[in-house]
Structure 1
Amino acid sequence: MLTRILMSALIAGLFAGSLVAAVQSFTTTPLIIEAEHYEGGGEVETASIDASLILAHMAGAPGHHASEGAEAWAPEDGLERTIYTSIATIGTGVGFALVLLSVMVLSGAEITAKTGLAWGAAAFVATGLAPALGLSPELPGSAAAALEARQLWWAGTALATALALWLMLRVSSPLAIAIGVALIVAPHLIGAPHPSEYTSQVPGELSGHFASASLVAQALCWALVGSIAGFVWQRQASGSQAA
């Protein structure tokens, strides 16, 4: 079972991560590079451009800020940046697939390309769409609250939304649905942490474009990972039965 999960996750992460990395190369990456021109000093915290930022916006979590520690290492533009972006995206895809397959196995769900796509969509809602309502994906130079507070709120929102979807879609009793709705709403009633002043160095048009492009890339990654992992799992099951 473990070998099957690992094999399916590795194949799904490799193919999905490579495809999404190609999409990123002409969507989110150029926006990150452009935003670096506006990144600088001052009292506004700014996000650094490195592999952690790539992983963060792919996973939906807030990224590292350069002002919160030593200056982060960054790959050179061109081939080096493309390679590191691709490696980070493929690694994220493998992680997504491992999470999806593990939860599906533990829940006893049928694992196919179709169900994998459905679970991937639910995972995107929990880790990307719901947290983005309070904390949109950030570019270098964007104003932001303290990293720890943002990460804590993101984690709480993702977990609450995931549990809510589980209750509403898997349990589906009136009480479970009511609890699920409350869990979805609760993090947004608490409110995401934001800076005292929205003094961003990045133009609003650039930030808006990045937020939408980042969410699309994340949705694509979850969808591809879920469907490919389910397809590979199903093919392995067919091969085992044939043998």
Structure 2
Amino acid sequence: MLIRFLWVGLMAGLLAGVPTAAIQHFTTTPLIIQAELYEQAEHSDHAALDGPTLLQGGAVIPAGYLLAHGPATEGAADEWAPDEGLERTFYTSIATIITAIGYAFMLLAAMFLAKSEITPRTGLLWGLAGFAAAGLAPSLGLSPELPGAASAGLLSRQIWWITTVVTTACGLWMLLRISTPLAIGIGVVLMVVPHFIGAPHPELLTSEVPSELAAHFASSSLVLHAIIWALAGTFVGFMWQRGETPAEQ
């Protein structure tokens, strides 16, 4: 059973990750590259500025103001990064495939825990629930960001994101699996609380990239997120129904 579990999770992740990586290459990756050009141009314009403030767009930006995906320290520019072209595509695709494999294992484990029937249809439904918890709900407070986008501190964003994912997942579990009136009420509260508290945002909202580019990236990222979760769940069900692994035959 363990070998079958590992085999299904690995193969489902691969089958979901490869097409998602291909779609990503033609959708979000070009947007990121465009945003990096704006970011580099902005840094070049202000490279000579020192001191506790940075003048940007006519406004004084306090020291410590963070740009998502931007260099956090002066030495960040010296950190390794893949070269443009094939090398960058390769590493981005590998990261996407690894992410898909992780999603597949999480969905498979959740279906085991819930003693759910494992079919392509149920896998798709579980995948959509995973997207709702890990993609849709957090995006209501923290939308996908391009390089150069203004953001609050990384730690505060991570805490809010993790809290939102966990509470939304628990809320969906209580709504869809337990489904008693009390459980439904608690589930709704769990899903609403993070948004009632509010996601962390910077005091000054500005960006180095055009708003149209940022909006296009946010919508494209959410669609890709939905695709990878849906494919992971569907292929988990498909691979599980295929039966034995090669090692078990």
Is it true that 1:67 corresponds to 2:72 in the alignment? yes
The 1-side partners of 2:68 and 2:194 are apart by 24
Superposition pairs for residues 228-239 of structure 1, below 5 Å?
Answer: 228-236=235-243
The 1-side partners of 2:176 and 2:90 are apart by 39
The 1-side partners of 2:76 and 2:170 are apart by 37
The 2-side partners of 1:89 and 1:239 are apart by 26
Is it true that 1:79 corresponds to 2:100 in the alignment? no
Superposition pairs for residues 45-124 of structure 1, below 5 Å?
Answer: 45-48=66-69, 65-67=70-72, 70-71=76-77, 72-124=79-131
The 2-side partners of 1:141 and 1:239 are apart by 48
Contact kept, 8 Å, 2:7 with 2:245, in 1: the verdict is no
SS in structure 1 opposite 2:68? coil
Larger Rg: 2
Unaligned runs of 5+ in 2: 44-53, 55-60
The 1-side partners of 2:71 and 2:111 are apart by 37
What is the Cα deviation at residue 70 of structure 1? 2.8
TM-score by length of 2: 0.86
Q: Hey, what does 1:216 align to over in structure 2? A: 223
Is it true that 1:33 corresponds to 2:47 in the alignment? no
Q: In the TM superposition, what whole-angstrom CA distance separates every residue of 1:129-153 from its partner, at most 9, and x where no partner exists? A: 0000000001000000000000100
| RMSD of aligned alpha carbons | 2.0
**Count of residues in correspondence between the two structures:** 226
What is the Cα deviation at residue 73 of structure 1? 2.8
What is the Cα deviation at residue 37 of structure 1? 1.1
The 2-side partners of 1:236 and 1:66 are apart by 48
Q: Which has the higher strand share?
A: 2
Cα 1:239–1:141 shift into 2, 3 Å: closer
What is the Cα deviation at residue 179 of structure 1? 0.6
Q: Hey, what does 1:14 align to over in structure 2? A: 14
Q: In the TM superposition, what whole-angstrom CA distance separates every residue of 1:81-103 from its partner, at most 9, and x where no partner exists? A: 11111100100000000111011
SS in structure 2 opposite 1:67? coil
What is the Cα deviation at residue 46 of structure 1? 2.4
* Identical residues among aligned pairs (%): 57
The 2-side partners of 1:184 and 1:46 are apart by 28
Contact kept, 8 Å, 1:142 with 1:200, in 2: the verdict is yes
TM-score by length of 1: 0.88
